[in-house]
Structure 1
Amino acid sequence: MFQKILIANRGEIALRVLRACKELGIQTVVVHSTADADAMHVRLADESVCIGPPPSRDSYLNIHQIVAACEITGADAVHPGYGFLSENAKFADILAAHNITFIGPSGDHIRIMGDKIEAKRTAKRLGIPVVPGSDGAVTEEKEAKRIASEIGYPVIIKASAGGGGRGMKVAHTEADLEVALQTARSEAGAAFGDDAVYIEKYLQKPRHIEVQVFGDGFGRGVHFGERDCSLQRRHQKVWEEANSPALNAEERSRIGSICATAIADLGYSGAGTIEFLYENGEFYFIEMNTRLQVEHPVTEAITGIDLVHEQIRVASGGGLSVKQEDIKFNGHAIECRINAEDPRTFTPSPGTITHFHTPGGLGIRVDSGVYSGYRIPPYYDSLIGKLIVHGRNRVECMMRLRRALDEFVVDGIKTTLPLFRDLVGNADIANGDYDIHWLEKYLAKEE
């Protein structure tokens, strides 16, 4: 087991990893920018190192400074959390060159899954169902029209190196395709430094289903069930739940087994999430995230297994603590992402939190790094906390969520809490009847 872990992140995920380390008796080091000197994870860590000014590129994305912090403090491993350097293959390689363990998959696996085209090829080879579309990058309009005609309109054009909805355009007809192709390539080049795009069939009313997987790096793989992340705004997840209200037991078992087998065959090490669009009983691979997800707590709630503990155990060479038959699913869990944003316009709302009160009681968990008097800096992601609620079934979970949202108080800034109070009372949400387009349509009606 590791002696000292450096946590290369900030906010609630840094605090989440820190708590797991403390439970395992591992010393902790956190890095922080000057803007985060008073952050909760900095206060609670055994050691802290300031690695630069507020901009991420000068601090949390500064590989040289993070490696130096490891060497100064004697950290023998780094947990990257999510975001920032968590899916940076170069970072994983550099740590390995300095004999520091990256708590995550190999640089090679990060590269494969970070390239959307190569990821799709790999998924297909491993027996994972994929969305019909091009086998590689598409550069010519003539080729794009041929592929679109074969798979049928509408189609979606995606950036190969993309994420977060950038470099994605939908074409409903051949007349739309030329502009969509040019726009997607332009956006991809500006956002990612790579204008390669590919084409897929655009599904009309799919759900976003993702499967939590783990590999031990030695040919064993397991799955921890699925999460439904269909409530999204601009391709950003807002509300996640496990299990999905759209799947039956047979579908759940089938897709879970496919993913666990694929991870084993890949020789993958650590946590990963295989993401799908689901429509009319069929799953279509869209991407794999080679890191811990923001929404991992809902999986922990229904399995009772600490996924960060598993990450650390696997990275230290201890293998997985469970076999597939040991993983049992209990009840239902929902997570709401609480952002420092206007609940209608979604404009960021940095500032000082004058009062912060979290809900409590059976089945309630709040992951947050903020507190009364904390000043939210304007430089980073607006996520300030996650409300996770667990119940014996979805009905109980929704009732408990309604109560917890009423208890949650954040004063001094605007947050998305009012949005969730609206959603929990909506009939479609109560019935689990929604798809990836539902939230944006709902918000458009409210304007």
Structure 2
Amino acid sequence: MLHVRHLLRPTSLALALSLIAGSGGAWAQQPPASMAPAPMPATPAAQAKAPLPLDELRTFAEVLDRIKAAYVEPVDDKTLLENAIKGMLSNLDPHSAYLDPQEFEELQESTSGEFGGLGIEVGVEDGFIKVVSPIDDTPASKAGIEAGDLIVKIDGQPTKGLSMMDAVDKMRGKPGSKISLTLVRGEGGKPFDVELARAVIKVQSVKSQFLEKGFGYVRITQFQINTGEEVGKALAKLRKDNNGKLKGLVLDLRNNPGGVLQSAVEVADHFLTDGLIVYTKGRIANSELRFSADPADASEGVPLVVLINGGSASAAEIVAGALQDHKRGVLMGTDSFGKGSVQTVLPLNNDRALKLTTALYFTPNGRSIQAQGIVPDIEVARAKVTPEGDGETFKEADLAGHLGNGNGGADKPSGHPSKTEPRLQDDDYQLNQALNLLKGLNLTRSK
């Protein structure tokens, strides 16, 4: 029986590195039979129009024979044929790939959110390996690796021209083993080295907390099979902890490489009560899918700000695009990654599989995100927050003989502010701005 799984991500592989991707994510739940695209056999008419390319097949056989006979070292047929398959797929697009048994197993493991590696989603740009996004709480994020960084060397060896498969192989390794990456950040940036220790990556898909009383925060690091359910639980807990109602919510999709298509639909549905969420178009049977919201509203219409950036890809862009098209929330941050394609995992014999781009997805208003991304409603670039105290200041109430307030109430002289616990938004300018916007929206709603 053919199992079909949908993938949404920017890398070509979801491997030990967190390359879940195409980066996008991980992989998807197996869809119902009615939603599972499967290749259609060619019709007689189609076969007549596209006869077998005999000349090219003869050339292929001749090249195979020449290599076997003349290459400096013996090469077996299996290796040559597998390399031919890999080349056939790698030249289609950056996200289609041939998965050997180990790679297929690692792709499956990534769905559970636990795998070995560095914790970075990567893609290929101009022949270089590019960081799509670091995954929270992993060696990569702790080392300060950022979305957009180019990996120019791995353990001193240049990556220019390396295939995605080769780069992934070099970055994989036993947990605890060391690796050195040479990175370039920004246009014209100087190369710098980062030393990392590989680890077993345990990805917590959903995190939630309060930013201030009544204002909730939900971060989705990537879309795994259970992400939709976890977001629903997080929303319910936030409401319960605030006497049943929220004043506002920040949904953080920054540096989210994507993942499971169905989970992205479920998350968007938590905030929508009707209408289209996303639709896909492709060439194979049943690839033209449409996903719509149901009337239930897990968010209860709470004012919403969605944070995105250049590391928000694929499934994250589906959620952001749906909420933007339905004007359900305000998108804030910077342009997203721009991966608008769907990958289907097609198992083969001998525990191998194809990860094949089979469709493009579109937002409810018909926008394709491919190579363009989502543009936020309010652009807020990343910035460093530097707290500044009031210093030695004086107020009217500090002056000797000052008049009291005729309306009553205690005087308020200057004093040393009491120390408060550090807050998530204190060092995150974009999040701070999102919270300020929510406060403004809450004020206008209450009037």
TM-score exceeds 0.5: no
Please identify which structure carries the higher helix content.
1
Structure with higher Rg: it is: 2
Q: Bin the TM-score by the shorter chain.
A: under 0.3
Normalising by structure 1, what TM-score?
Answer: 0.24
